[in-house]
Structure 1
Amino acid sequence: MAKFNTIMFEMPKKLYANELIEKLTDQRREFNNNRGAGQVNNLPTPEYIFNREKLTTITFEGLDFIIKDRRVIGIKGLTLSEKALQQITDKLLFLDKVQFDYCEKSNREYLSGNADLQNIRNIDRWFFTSLKILTTTLNDIAAFTKKANTTVMVEANLANMRKPNIDTFGEKPVDQAIVQLAK
């Protein structure tokens, strides 16, 4: 909190979605490439990208998503309705939860007494796929918010996006099953 002329306001934390996604991907890949007997202590830490309580600005493709209390409360420079913001929140937080859950699930499998490496590979594949889908969804949101100049157009584009944009990512059954497995 900062105090200016006796008015208290929260200073937002600024994060970059690309860097967070890259960090999560790199951590998991590095762990997988170096896994061995002593590596269980160095499991990648699950981390949410958008699911944040404190005021946070998350930048992606020139858009500043303003997050507070686990909701997208705005995109800097755009006037969006509550409905549009709720649609964006639903899509991003769902995908964020999926990637977080797959990271946790993979870690739990490693820590179990009899880890199934094929199951771990599949879970990791779903983790990486969820991050790719999150990136694709963010790219789609960035593309139509830059083109659309009215809230109505943004809402229409959001409504036309599949939830959570899994069908446009790929045709593999694993990509389409990601939502079902995450539940």
Structure 2
Amino acid sequence: MKTAKSIALILLIIISSSTTSYILAQNKQIKQADICAELEKVNGNEMIKRLADQRIAFNKNRSNHNLPKAEYIINRSNLTIINFNGLDYYVKNNRLTGIKGLNLSDSVMNQITAKLILLDGIQYEQSELLNNEHVNPNSNLQKIWYMDRQFMLTLKILSSTVRDIAALTKNENPSLTVETNVAKMRLPNIDKAAKKSNMQSLLSLSK
């Protein structure tokens, strides 16, 4: 009799334990699903293209006074997934917290953050300066043209930077490849590059 009671008690404990584990697992899945649902997901490549296209469209028809809104691509306070060239970048509090599928050191993450945040900040600032100059009664067309070149060039460099990072992940050991090559990725001087671009444009016009 005692043996039967002991067996029944053991079975009851096992069933209770299994039920509790199942409930906890279900709750964990629900919480994870809620977190994923709250995450903002952005297609970074499409956003870069949209910002460039909006500025080009405005330049073609400035009479509509519909100034393109300055927008940050990467600088975000809330946890956001930004996809560039197939890589999911996790961003929070204006810094990169991780790249899905890659195991990177804090040092490398900081380097990537610095590069992307710098470029994102420049494109945002140039967009705002352009808009302010357009509504300025004493606007300088040459200044507008120069800032516009800087804005478009910055978007182009940002696009090529994330493309280069994605290319590094095609290796057999993507994390190690990114770790060893990110430091070699130098950001060009935006002003110098813009001046070079301007000079090339002037030379082509003079021919």
Q: What TM-score do the two structures reach when normalised by structure 1? A: 0.82
Shift of 1:150: 5.7
1:33 maps to a residue whose letter is: K
Counterpart for residue 111 of structure 2:
87
Amino acid at match of 1:153: T
CA distance in 2, matches of 1:52, 1:95: 14
- Tell me what 1:106 maps to: 130
Aligned residues: 167
- One of 67, 70, 73 as aligned partner of 1:46: 70
Q: Quickly say closer, same or farther: Cα 1:175–1:136, change in 2 above 3 A.
A: farther
Is 1:174 the counterpart of 2:195? The answer is yes
Structure 1 position 135 matched with structure 2 position 156: no
* Cα shift at 1:120: 0.6
Unmatched 5+ stretches in structure 2: 1-25, 199-207
Paired residue for 1:12? Answer: 39
Q: Which runs of 4+ in 1 moved over 6 A?
A: none
Note if contact 1:46-1:103 (Cα within 8 Å) is conserved in structure 2: yes
Per-residue displacement from partner, 1:120-158 (whole Å, max 9, x unpaired)? 111111100000000111111111133262644322201
* Cα distance change on mapping 1:5 and 1:176 into 2, 3 Å: farther
Select which of 51, 54, 59 maps to 1:32.
Answer: 59
In 2, distance between residues paired with 1:60 and 1:159? 19
Shift in CA distance, 52/173, structure 1 to aligned 2, threshold 3 Å: closer
Alignment partners' CA distance in 1, 2:48 and 2:132: 21
Match of residue 97 from structure 1: 121
Match of 1:57 among 62, 81, 95: 81
How far is 1:21 from its partner? Answer: 0.6
Normalised by the length of structure 2, the TM-score is 0.73
Code of the aligned partner of 1:30 = A
Amino acid at match of 1:18: N
Q: Do 1:148 and 1:154's aligned partners in 2 also have CA atoms closer than 8 Å?
A: no
Q: How big is the alpha-carbon RMSD for the aligned residues of Structure 1 and Structure 2?
A: 2.4
Gaps of 5+ in 1: 178-183
> By percentage of residues, which structure has more strand?
1
How do residues 156-171 of structure 1 correspond to structure 2 at under 5 angstroms? 156-162=180-186, 164=187, 166=188
Contact 2:149 2:194 in 1 (8 A): no
CA contact (8 A) 1:84 1:151 kept: no
Q: Where is the helix percentage greater, Structure 1 or Structure 2? A: 2
C-alpha displacement of 1:62: 1.0
| Identical columns (%) | 44
